A and B are shown apart, each in its own frame.
Chain A
């Protein structure tokens, strides 16, 4: 199983992956949620990253993957030394993650608005395999949810009652369009939704650990401006 690591350890690893400063805020705002997911919520095994019984995580927004890479490295999916070559020629850790190059990465993302539909398909596939205890968590940014494709998938996820599907929104207030109120908006589409402090590990863990049995749910991690 994944090694126990502290969030401070992950933060230190992030600092080794330099060169994508334009996405620093995108990356750091995901750090706490990703650490909680991989340390306390998801069932994953770095020694067997394709285990059928694992939970699936899709970093839909793709942008700012430094925190994601740091968490995966800290958990042992790949050697930490790869972080030092982030964005470099021949290094698998690029500005947007690639499932065919990075162990532990479930989907190649970066173009916004793809991951949630992939997650719906993954959840359906797990249902078809009889693996409905395995969860599918898709992380989207608040601005990414401007993309209409997400709302197609949100509509469909509720219609299909995909209870093993969780949307984790990192609301770092980068959207030019006001996205709140999340609970009402997602609730109108048939999802359970809760907004929590995006830096509060206990609140994140509680919200990400429970989910309804008859519909998908969303956890919105609020990251106020300036607290990225």
Chain B
């Protein structure tokens, strides 16, 4: 299976070749993967070096001239470090563009906390009008990038190392019902689906899947959640990030909510992604353990 980072470069390279209004702005990260695009359109595919405020500002400058910029680096250096440029240069100015990250939440686990970004999605959700997309696999990333790169909106596209086993027919605002049950509804986001299904094995639970945090399919969740639901977000970012969205979606019913996400503490250990998942309760076993705790507490 192609990894999402490679897919991001491949799809972007094709868009550069087919749409003369596509520009790519890089900050050293993934430059090797964009070599063909840089050769084919050197004026539209630019590596600015290690300067993330300028990375985002240059992308917005392209957008001011009618281009569709795809701005790429690691999540903490794309969202957190230059956040004011994201908020003002794109958001406040009403410009469209794709901010495409890798590395969140702690994908490059040996790099340490300086390179982790479990707060990226929460931060992006503070930018009014921004789309936040978290594909579950490379094929979904391809579909979402093609669907949004030229739609005139600011889009945060989060590529992950972890991938689901199956690709769905995703779209901004889409929600897929995977299975139906009665005790609770799990909302699995992006690459959390495969492990969520493993964690829910044998339990009487509804599982829905989305790669679209914003816009979120409130109507779709309403249809499956019922009149007195317990809704549990299984989210690959800080726990609780999705809860305001879920609460708003179900504001007309007396719903209860819980979250299984990245615990809100600094990650100081080094190790593989799998080791971090295990330590943080984000692998299938950890999700099941946390899920059973939630079900016990709310039964």
Contact = CB atoms under 8 A, between A and B. Distances in A.
Whether chains A and B associate is yes
Interface of A: 99-100, 106-108, 111, 113-114, 116-129, 148-149, 152-153, 155-156, 159-160
Contact of A108 (B46, B49, B53, B92): B92
B67 A118 contact: no
Most buried by B among A100, A148, A153: A153
Nearest to A123: B61
20 contacts: A100-B94, A111-B84, A114-B57, A114-B89, A116-B57, A117-B53, A117-B57, A117-B58, A117-B60, A118-B58, A121-B60, A121-B64, A121-B69, A122-B62, A123-B61, A124-B62, A149-B54, A149-B85, A155-B51, A160-B46
A127 B56 CA distance: 18
B57 A120 contact: yes
Contacts of A149: 53-54, 57, 85
B5 interface: no
B261 interface: no
B61 A119 contact: yes
Contacts of A121: 25, 57-65, 69
Interface in B80-106: 84-85, 88-89, 92-94
Contact of A120 (B23, B61, B84): B61
Interface of B: 23, 25, 41, 43-44, 46, 48-49, 51, 53-54, 56-67, 69, 84-85, 88-89, 92-94
Contact of A100 (B56, B59, B93): B93
A121 B51 CA distance: 13
Contacts of B41: 128
A124 B61 contact: yes
Nearest to B53: A149
A149 B67 CA distance: 23
Contact of A125 (B54, B64, B85, B89): B64
Nearest to B84: A111
B270 to A, nearest CB: 30
B58 A124 contact: yes
Contacts of A155: 49, 51
A118 B57 contact: yes
B93 A107 contact: yes
A123 B64 CA distance: 11
| Majority secondary structure, A binding face | helix
B57 A125 contact: no
Given A117-B53, A127-B43, 14 more contacts: A99-B93, A111-B84, A111-B88, A114-B84, A117-B61, A119-B61, A120-B58, A121-B62, A121-B64, A122-B62, A122-B64, A125-B67, A148-B53, A152-B51
B57 A126 contact: no
B202 to A, nearest CB: 53
The 3 closest A-B pairs by CB, nearest first: A121-B61, A117-B57, A125-B65
A185 B216 CA distance: 50
A128 B63 CA distance: 12
B53 A152 contact: yes
B99 to A, nearest CB: 14
Most buried by A among B44, B58, B69, B85: B58
Nearest to A131: B65
Contacts of B57: 114, 116-118, 120-121, 149, 153
A125 B88 contact: no
Contacts of A125: 23, 61-62, 64-67
Nearest to A154: B54
Nearest to B85: A114
A182 to B, nearest CB: 21
A156 B89 contact: no
Nearest to A147: B53
Contacts of A123: 61
A107 B54 CA distance: 15
Contacts of A108: 88, 92-93
B43 A124 contact: yes
A121 B62 CA distance: 5
A224 to B, nearest CB: 31
Given A100-B94, A129-B65, A124 B46 contact: yes
A108 B53 CA distance: 16
A204 to B, nearest CB: 25
Contact of A126 (B53, B56, B65, B93): B65
Most buried by B among A120, A121, A156: A121
B23 A128 contact: yes
A118 B49 contact: no
